[in-house]
Amino acid sequence: MHKSRYLLVLALVTLSGALAACGGPVSGGAPDGVSAALSAAGYAGCYTDSSTRALPTQLARSNATVETCVAAAKAKNLAYAGLQYRGECWAGNTLGYNLVSDSDCNMKCSANSSETCGGSWRNSVYSAAAVTPPAPAAKYVGCYTDSSTRALPTQLGWSNATVETCVAAAKAKNLAYAGLQYSGECWAGNTLGYNLVSDSDCNTKCSANPSEMCGGSWRSSVYSTQGTTTVAVAVTPKTSSITVGKTAQLTATVTGSTDKAVTWSVQEGPAGGSVTSAGLYTAPQTAGTYHVIAQSHADPAKSDTATVTASTPPPAPAPTPAPAAVAVSLSPATADVDACQTYTFTASVTGTSNTAVTWSTLEGPTGGSISTTGVYTAPATAGTYHVVATSQADTTKTTTATVTVTERIVSVAVNPQTVTASQGGTAQLSATVTTTCGAFTVTN
């Protein structure tokens, strides 16, 4: 691409010399019909426009020519004059929205058909040559490499740009950096070029202002549109305390530039731990105080530091003894009880502060009953039964006592005690039997 440009320049120089030898005029790049003085003043190109005007000051509604429009803009101390739609005259201090082909500015001026007056929403833009365009203070960043995949992707001018006009156009687009290349191309974007190289690589003077440098072949002279705004970096938190080998998330805030990127590093090098591009710091295995640095990408001279103290973890606490298992015992473990009589059992619970138990009989109601205080009442039927005590703290823990129930006769009384009967006669007798469950009478 640049080789073809050199060939084109060489051809134009040769052609210019031939025309000069024949007494013919040499064009300065402006459309046909424009005076040599205005051509020298600087035809900037054909730019798009919209209802939100790129050149906001209207100086004529119709019948303007290049000469009258540039003069009017100069009188208003405005940097650029733009002719549109056969004779409208607009002016301002920034270029148009987008540079397009000169063929888009295809309407002749109604007041001078030898000149071109833009098109529909197209401005033929000229620099009011004697006026220095107001521009923001520009901070030179350096000479950066470029490639066909542009580091600064927005093209704001094909030629005749100066540092002032390019920075102003980039700032108007709210872009962080302006780059001048190949004598007067203007490129802009929000990141720097690919690689910073020696300023001697940017050795091409600006064609519109030879006192300034406009990059070189695949080299951009890059300026910050932030001007002299002071870049500052603040890291949070400023101090952190973590355990060795653990992580701490740090955040860097950049002010004074639209480029918010930072480069993270550890002052002590690998011995001081590591930090990711996202600010996640990992402490080394050695206790100590370390320093994490965030350096501004926009202004490498600006940085901030966080202090991280890494300490060894405290010794692990002694293990808590496992709680003793819950256990239930009954006293006595066996008992002989007369039918319908009571007997008191005692339950002991260990391994918990809750020593309460729930009483029951294994055989249910037929096996007798037991109160909440452990008083067992035997059934009327003799047999072997079982009293159960269940821990309320752990219902899986139980114990059982065996109870042998005996039906015991306490006394027998015959009534009447004496009987008188004739031979072969009868007498009615009854017997009262008293057991541990009560008395009953048997008649015979």
- The CATH number given to whatever domain includes residue 268 is 2.60.40.10
Q: Is residue 414 part of a domain?
A: no
Do 148 and 205 fall into the same domain?
yes
Who has greater pLDDT, 32 or 435?
Answer: 435
Question: How far apart are the C-alpha atoms of 280 and 250, rounded to whole Å?
Answer: 6
Q: Is residue 177 part of a domain?
A: yes
Q: Is residue 19 part of a domain?
A: no
Q: Is 90 exceeded by the pLDDT of residue 246?
A: yes
Q: Is residue 425 part of a domain?
A: no
Question: How far apart are the C-alpha atoms of 268 and 264, rounded to whole Å?
Answer: 13
Do 257 and 336 fall into the same domain?
no
Do 353 and 388 fall into the same domain?
yes
Do 276 and 241 fall into the same domain?
yes
| Those residues with Cβ within 8 angstroms of residue 328's Cβ, 6 or more apart along the chain or in another chain | 347, 348, 349, 357, 389, 390, 391, 397, 398, 399
Q: Is the dihedral of CA 94, 97, 98, 99 positive or negative?
A: negative
Query: How does pLDDT run across 353-388, given as a tens digit for each residue?
Result: 999 999 999 999 999 999 999 999 999 999 999 999
Predicted pLDDT at 381? 92
Burial class (CB in 10 A: 0-12, 13-18, 19+), 260: middle
Pairing mode, if any, of strands 334-338 and 398-406? Answer: parallel
Burial class (CB in 10 A: 0-12, 13-18, 19+), 76: middle
As for how many domains the chain has, the answer is 4
Do 219 and 239 fall into the same domain?
no
Closest Cα partner for 220 from 189, 187, 173?
187
Single out the residue in 282, 311, 340 at which a domain terminates. Answer: 311
Do 185 and 108 fall into the same domain?
no
Range of the domain at 342: 327-406
Half-sphere exposure of 209 (CA within 13 A, CB side): 19
Do 36 and 104 fall into the same domain?
yes
Do 270 and 236 fall into the same domain?
yes
Q: Is residue 96 part of a domain?
A: yes
Query: For residue 255, what are the CA distances in angstroms to 46, 234, 286, 296, 302?
Result: 37, 8, 35, 10, 11
Question: How far apart are the C-alpha atoms of 49 and 66, rounded to whole Å?
Answer: 18
Question: How far apart are the C-alpha atoms of 440 and 194, rounded to whole Å?
Answer: 118
Query: How does pLDDT run across 9-28, given as a tens digit for each residue?
Result: 333 333 333 333 333 222 33
Half-sphere exposure of 214 (CA within 13 A, CB side): 26
Do 274 and 364 fall into the same domain?
no
Predicted pLDDT at 7? 35
For the record, the structure tokens of 174 come out as: 């709210």
Q: Is residue 20 part of a domain?
A: no
Q: Is residue 345 part of a domain?
A: yes
Do 145 and 98 fall into the same domain?
no
Single out the residue in 265, 283, 311 at which a domain terminates. Answer: 311
Q: What are phi and psi of 172, to 5 degrees?
A: -65, -30
Single out the residue in 224, 243, 267 at which a domain terminates. Answer: 224
Do 44 and 99 fall into the same domain?
yes
Q: Is 80 exceeded by the pLDDT of residue 45?
A: yes
Closest Cα partner for 49 from 121, 120, 105, 107?
121
Predicted pLDDT at 129? 62
Do 299 and 356 fall into the same domain?
no
Query: For residue 119, what are the CA distances in angstroms to 46, 100, 389?
Result: 9, 12, 105
Question: How far apart are the C-alpha atoms of 289 and 272, rounded to whole Å?
Answer: 8
Q: For residue 251, what pLDDT band results from cuts at 50, 70 and 90? A: very high
Question: How far apart are the C-alpha atoms of 372 and 431, rounded to whole Å?
Answer: 39
Closest Cα partner for 220 from 271, 144, 332?
144
